[in-house]
Structure 1
Amino acid sequence: MSEEKKGFFSRLVEGLTKTRNNIMSGFDAIFSGFSNIDEDFYEELEEVLVMADLGIHTTENIIEELKRKVKEQHIKEPQACKQLLADTIKEQMRVDEEAYRFEHQTSVVLVIGVNGVGKTTTIGKLAGQYKKAGKKVVLAAADTFRAAAIEQLTEWAHRAGVDIIAGQEGSDPASVIYDAIAAAKARKVDILLCDTAGRLHNKKNLMEELKKINRIIEREYPEAYRENLIVLDGTTGQNALVQAKQFKETADITGIVLTKLDGTAKGGIAIAIQAELGVPVKYIGIGEKIEDLQKFDTDAFVDALFTPAEEN
Structure 2
Amino acid sequence: MVDWLNRFFGTQPLVSILDILIVWFIVYQLIVYARKTRAMNLLQGVALILVAKFFSQTIGLQTIDWLLGQLISWGVVALIILFQPELRKALENLGRSLFRRTTSSSRNPSEQLIDDLETSLLYMSKRKIGALISIEAENPLDEYISTGTTLDSNITSQLLINIFIPNTPLHDGAVIISDFRIAAASCYLPLSESKLIPKELGTRHRAAIGLGEVTDALTLIVSEETGAISIVKNDFLHRDLNREDLRAKLMEYLYDENNEDNTDQDNFQMIKDFFTSNLISKGGNQGE
Structure with the larger RCO, 1 or 2 (CA within 8 Å, 6+ apart)? 1
Return the index of the structure with the highest Cα Rg.
2
TM-score by length of 2: 0.28
TM-score by length of 1: 0.26
